[in-house]
Amino acid sequence: MSLLSILGVISSAIFSGTSLLYTTLGEILDERAGIVNLGLEGVLLVSAAAGFGVTSQTGNPYMGMLAAMLAGGSMNLLFGFLVITRRANQLASGLAVMFFGFGLSALIGKPYVGALINGLPRFMLPGLASIPALNTSQFKFDLLIYLVVPMAMLIWWLLFRTRWGLSLRAVGENANTAFAAGRNPRRVQYQALFFGGLLAGLGAAHLSIAWTMTWAEFMTAGRGFIAVALVIFSKWHPARAIAGALLFGGAVAFQLLLQASGIAISPFLLDTLPYVVTLLVLIAWGGTRKYAAPASLGRVYQGTEQ
């Protein structure tokens, strides 16, 4: 177990976890406003395909990133139309969006299967380069990776230190109370969904444009659901999501490390790790009833009939 292989694991975890973290942050925003998006997988796929396609067409990864963000925001707005304006059941609507994303992404991405693109450039932070041990290509990260932790802090600040965040959290706890306080729950929820979608789009962009630099059908491989699980695991808090994303994103890399040290655990069993951990956490909390979920999560805001 050399230093290089440890660094390799860490690097892998960071690459893998970044897209997860962006997506999780977006979902935290949505859920804090009371909406569960089970269709996140579909949103990610469409964003990844759109971003990859635009990058391939224009040769410009930043345009692709933008396209991915907008695609994510739009998908979430579509979802929002169903659950906010039409007051449909969030779970069924989420699954519908998932299916939609499966199909739409396949359609959008088909021409670009196997295409090569210029991904986001990777570079080392100036400070790190001076540490000889870390001066390897494995520690060259792209812009999105460097921005992800600041983004988490930004989300934290938005949620807990601004009036907008207070309104958002109030809507997620009790929309009627928020309404009594003069807020417009529907508008707040749409805003949350849109920004959440932008973040999901960033996550998807990192996946297809920056990290793997490919497009394949279903390439997100359940990341949308892992993000939903991760939101629960991090108790709807942006800071904890960082740790969780590293942990969940690093599971695969961790498995390689184990193999290298002669411990063989089936990769398939390791795949179940994020879900099993989340389940255990849910069970553990359930007993103590200290559930940290926003109180109105999943409930459809019926509005007040005057």
User: 117 — alpha (psi -120 to 50), left (phi > 0) or beta?
Assistant: beta
Q: Which of 29, 66, 117, 178 binds another protein (CB under 8 A)?
A: 178
Choose, by CB under 8 A, the member of 11, 174, 191, 255 that binds another protein. 174
Nearer to another protein among residue 97 and residue 242 (C-beta) = 97
Which 94-153 positions form the footprint of another protein (CB under 8 A)? 95-100, 102-107, 110
Compute the distance between CA of residue 134 and CA of residue 4 in angstroms, rounded to an integer. Answer: 9
Lay out the site mask for another protein across 257-296 (x = CB under 8 A, - = otherwise). Answer: ---------x-xx-xx--xx-xx--xx-xxx-x--x-xx-
Stated as kind and residue range, the H or E segment containing 204 is: helix 185-205
Length of the chain: 306
| Helix H or strand E encompassing 67 | helix 61-80
Asked whether the beta carbons of 144 and 126 are under 8 A apart, the reply is: no
- The residue among 77 and 124 lying less far from another protein, judged by its C-beta, is 77
Site for another protein in 222-241 (CB under 8 A): 222, 225, 228-229, 232
In the 8-state DSSP scheme, what is residue 291? Answer: -
Q: Which is nearer to another protein, 40 or 198 (CB)?
A: 40
Shortest distance, CB of residue 175 to another protein, whole angstroms?
Answer: 11
The CA-CA-CA angle for residues 27, 204, 294, to 5°, reads 5
Taking the complex as a whole, the smallest distance from the CB of residue 118 to another protein amounts, in Å, to 25
Positive or negative, the CA dihedral 246, 248, 251, 254 is positive
Residues 6+ apart with CB under 8 A from 211: 15, 16, 18, 19, 119
Footprint of another protein on this chain (CB under 8 A)?
38, 81-82, 86-89, 91-93, 95-100, 102-107, 110, 161-164, 166-167, 169-170, 173-174, 176-178, 180-182, 217-218, 222, 225, 228-229, 232, 266, 268-269, 271-272, 275-276, 278-279, 282-283, 285-287, 289, 292, 294-295, 298, 300, 306
